[in-house]
Structure 1
Amino acid sequence: MRRVTLHTLYAGPDRSVAAGQTAEFDDEEAARLTAGGYGVYADAPRRKSAAAEDKPVEKMSVAQLQAYAADHGIDVGDARTKAEILAAVEAAREAEAEA
């Protein structure tokens, strides 16, 4: 048995599992689901999206900016809006460039 986190709805003869949920499947069904791109093994290490790292910070979403700040040790303080987080990230990048 393997645990799979699904990207799509799974509807089988015995049950259904919503997208985003993790469920146990026999080895054969788990391999079929992961090979088809319908899910990932729950115990597989997550990898960072290279696309987010390559994207200019000005084009990042709030979630991407928050992840970028966390990954780079940037304290955004009480910033919540995209403009506030972006200002904190850019200030930290400028300070690093000057150092």
Structure 2
Amino acid sequence: MKRVKMMSLYAGPKGSVAIGAIGEFDDAEARDLVDGRYGAYADEPRPARKEPAEKPIERWTVAELQAYAAEHEIDLGDATVKAGILKTVVAAIEAARDSDGD
């Protein structure tokens, strides 16, 4: 069994796991979730993820935005659609830049 911290909602035959929560999965399912970027192993350090340099943040997918938010500990609050998630992530990035410039 492997522990996976979810970056998207998981719903399966044995229940569901919310975004940011940790679920236990058999090795094969855990590997599929991590390989599909739906989650990350909870007990292993994650390699640093770089922002996609080839496209602007406005063109990132919902999964990419959610992964960035999870990695940078950005609370998405009630944002569930791309526009809301994007607005929250951009605001957090700008706030971080502003605080770094002080």
Normalising by structure 1, we get a TM-score of: 0.52
C-alpha contact (below 8 Å) 2:4/2:22 kept by paired residues: yes
CA distance in 2, matches of 1:39, 1:49: 13
Root-mean-square deviation (Å): 1.9
Task: Look up the match of 2:56.
Answer: none
CA drift at 1:48: 3.8
Pair 1:86–1:35, CA change in 2 (3 A): closer
User: Over residues 14-64 of structure 1, what are the superposed CA-to-partner deviations in whole Å (9 max), with x where a residue is unaligned?
Assistant: 11111111111011110111111111111221344444xxxxxxxx432x4
Identity of aligned residues (%): 44
- Contact 2:40-2:46 at 8 Å conserved across structures: no
- Structure 2 runs not aligned, ≥5 long: 52-92
Q: Decide whether aligned partners of structure 1 residues 47 and 31 sit closer, same or farther in structure 2, where only a CA change above 3 A counts.
A: closer
Task: Give the direction of change, closer, same or farther, for the CA distance of 1:10–1:87 in structure 2 (3 Å limit).
Answer: closer
Would the alpha carbon gap of residues 49 and 14 (structure 1) be closer, same or farther in structure 2, given more than 3 Å must change? Answer: closer
Match of 2:94 among 61, 73, 76: 61
Task: Please tell me whether Structure 1 or Structure 2 has the larger radius of gyration of its CA atoms.
Answer: 1
Q: Does the 8 Å contact 2:3/2:23 carry over to 1?
A: yes
Structure with the larger helix share: 1
The 4+ residue runs of structure 1 with deviation greater than 4 A are none
- 1:1-99 matched pairs, under 5 angstroms: 1-51=1-51, 60-62=93-95, 64-65=96-97, 82=98, 85-88=99-102
Higher RCO, 1 vs 2 (CA within 8 Å, ≥6 residues apart): 2
Structure 1 counterpart SS, 2:30: helix
Q: Which amino acid aligns with 1:23?
A: G
Aligned residues: 61
Structure 2 letter corresponding to 1:37: R
Cα–Cα, structure 1 residues 47 and 35, in superposed 2: closer, same or farther, change >3 Å?
Answer: closer
Structure 1: tracts of 5 or more residues without a match: 52-59, 66-81, 89-99
